[in-house]
């Protein structure tokens, strides 16, 4: 199993540009999440999904959209990038009934 | 979710046990203690979790006090690869639904020769 994969690893955007961060998992996990991590801070939950077709907001959802059309994929969309969205983004997944979350390697995003 | 307090940083000699403390004095009866770690620039990695009994797995041991107001993560024989930020998280069981893990700033453990 590849586990949780994220692309791209690095991205630089200009203010106002849009892009999609990709996240995929091959473990057939129902739960998937997106977190962001800013320097010197812990991770903060952006959006999460409890299964295909179901998404919900975390604690910092503004400026981000998600969709979950398949169990495997959970893309995160930035509609109009802002410098405040400069961060490292982590995707995570876990199986139903299991406490352990598996995290991807992260995407480092810089918005100029 | 209950608030946790951890030391900002700790040092440990390679081969020795690393004991990482965590205070969670407002923990509720149905809240678990989870430990994750994050090696530089990588995604967090699950280590262990427990409710009230001490737990052990291939990575570490978790000791929870009888009143559950504090706990200690023990890495029995620390290696240089254990250098990381260690997060203590208290919340209801993830199996119950929802995905939020509230990560604080954690403890930076530095293992040295």
Long-range contacts of B10-13 (CB under 8 A, 24+ apart): B10/B107, B10/B108, B10/B109, B10/B110, B11/B109, B11/B110, B11/B111, B11/B112, B12/B75, B12/B78, B12/B82, B12/B109, B12/B110, B12/B111, B12/B112, B13/B78, B13/B111, B13/B112, B13/B113
Is the Cβ pair A33, B103 closer than 8 Å? no
> For B55-95, what is each residue's pLDDT tens digit?
999 999 999 999 999 999 999 999 999 999 999 998 866 55
Q: Residue B99's pLDDT is what?
A: 55
Is A74 an 8 Å CB contact of chain B? no
Q: Give B102's contacts in chain A (Cβ within 8 Å).
A: 42
Confidence band, pLDDT 50/70/90 cuts, at residue B41: confident
Share of chain B above pLDDT 90, in %: 74
Is the Cβ pair A106, B46 closer than 8 Å? no
Nearest to A103 among B43, B98, B105 (CB): B43
> For A24-73, what is each residue's pLDDT tens digit?
999 999 999 999 999 877 889 899 998 999 999 988 999 999 999 999 99
């Amino acid at each position: 199993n590849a586990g949780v994969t994220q692309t791209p690893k690095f991205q630089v955007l200009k203010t106002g540009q849009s892009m999609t961060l990709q996240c995929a998992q091959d473990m057939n996990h129902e739960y998937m999440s997106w977190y962001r991590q800013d320097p010197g801070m812990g991770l903060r939950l952006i959006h999460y999904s409890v299964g295909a077709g179901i998404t919900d907001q975390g604690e910092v959802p503004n400026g981000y959209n998600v969709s979950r059309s398949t169990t495997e994929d959970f893309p995160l969309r930035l509609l109009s990038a802002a410098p405040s969205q400069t961060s490292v983004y982590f995707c995570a997944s876990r199986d139903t009934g299991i406490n352990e979350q598996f995290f991807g390697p992260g995407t480092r995003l810089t918005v100029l | 979710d209950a608030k946790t307090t951890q030391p900002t940083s700790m040092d440990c000699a390679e081969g020795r046990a690393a004991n990482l403390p965590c205070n969670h004095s407002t923990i509720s009866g149905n809240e678990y203690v989870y430990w994750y770690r994050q090696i530089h620039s990588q995604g967090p990695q699950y280590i262990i979790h427990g409710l009230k009994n001490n737990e052990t797995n291939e990575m570490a041991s978790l000791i929870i006090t009888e009143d559950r107001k504090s706990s200690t993560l023990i890495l029995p024989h620390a290696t240089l690869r254990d250098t990381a930020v260690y997060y203590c998280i208290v919340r209801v069981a993830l199996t119950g639904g929802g995905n939020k893990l509230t990560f604080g700033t954690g403890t930076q453990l530095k293992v040295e020769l």
